[in-house]
Amino acid sequence: MSTLLHIDASPRGERSITRSLTHDFVAAWKAAHPGEKVISRDLGHQPPPFVDEAWIAAAFAPEPTAADTAALAFSSELIAEIHAADRYVFGIPMYNLSIPAVFKAWIDQIVRVGRTFGFGANGLEGLVKGKKVTIITASGSVFRAGTPYAAYNFQEPYLRGILGFIGITDVEFIVADGVNDVNYGKIDRTAYLAPIREQVAAAAKA
């Protein structure tokens, strides 16, 4: 059995490039894994709350009270989804050279001592093991290695870093970049998406 965790971070609906590509991924994954479970989290339309003082106190409480457990209830629900799934697909637009705040809010909810990372014999240790994630990004400009703006891409290194911190090291990126050409009518959206959709379909079957 395999379970897919599908997360979208774009607040846009049908106009969203990342959302349309994760939609493709989920459809192809379901076709390749009939009857298996998909968990969906729409962060773009239902943003998670920011961590607050009660959350932080509860996360580090040596003997959690019922109030601590309640303060962490939503975080625990999100973390349960991470552990329940073995395959993930995340649709994450580039916002201001990095990730949308809703996705950072999700990260702050799920990076929790004793749940997704801990302290082992060799120091800090990720506790989310044996998972694979496909991250589908979109950006107006191009930030690929070797291009003038490559040094401004804080999205991919950050995501690799924080996912690696909790133990997720099998991370694949599918990049829909240069979408300004679509927005400004220089290229037809369907034509632009065609080769990327092929990459998505292949990733969903792998």
Rounded to a whole number of angstroms, the minimum distance from the CB of residue 182 to ligand FMN is: 8
CA distance 203 to 206: 5
Quick one: 72 or 92, whose CB is closer to ligand FMN? Answer: 92
22 touching ligand FMN, by CB under 6 A: no
Nearer to ligand FMN, 14 or 53 (CB): 14
Stretch that binds ligand FMN, among 8-16, 35-43, 64-72, 161-169 (CB under 6 A): 8-16
Q: Tokens 């590509």 correspond to what residue?
A: 21
Would you state the torsion angle of the CA atoms of residues 55, 60, 61, 62, taken in this order, to the nearest 10 degrees? Answer: 160
To the nearest whole angstrom, how small is the minimum distance from the Cβ of residue 14 to ligand FMN?
A: 10
Binding to ligand FMN by CB under 6 A, coded x per residue (else -) over 156-175, reads --------------------
Q: Report how far apart the first and last C-alpha atoms of the chain are (Å, whole number).
A: 15
101 binds ligand FMN (CB under 6 A): no
Q: Which of 154, 129, 127 is nearest to 139 (CA)?
A: 154
Does 139 help bind ligand FMN (rule: CB under 6 A)?
A: yes
93 counts as binding ligand FMN under rule CB under 6 A: yes
* CA atoms of 59 and 18, how far apart (whole Å): 32
Q: How far is the CB of 137 from ligand FMN (least distance, A)?
A: 8
Phi and psi angles of residue 133, each rounded to the nearest 5 degrees, phi first: -125, 135
Among 94, 99, 111, 174, binds ligand FMN (CB under 6 A): 94
Q: Which is nearer to ligand FMN, 17 or 43 (CB)?
A: 17
DSSP line for 12-28: -STT-HHHHHHHHHHHH
* Closer residue to ligand FMN, CB minimum distance, 75 or 137: 137
Residue closest to 89 by CA, chosen among 46, 123, 53, 133 = 133
Can residue 179 be called a binding residue for ligand FMN (CB under 6 A)?
Answer: yes
Show the CA angle centred on residue 95, arms to residues 75 and 51, nearest 5°. 20
Tell whether residue 190 is a contact of ligand FMN (CB under 6 A).
no
CB atoms within 10 A of CB 112: 22
Q: List contacts with ligand FMN (CB under 6 A).
A: 10, 12, 16-19, 93-97, 138-141, 179
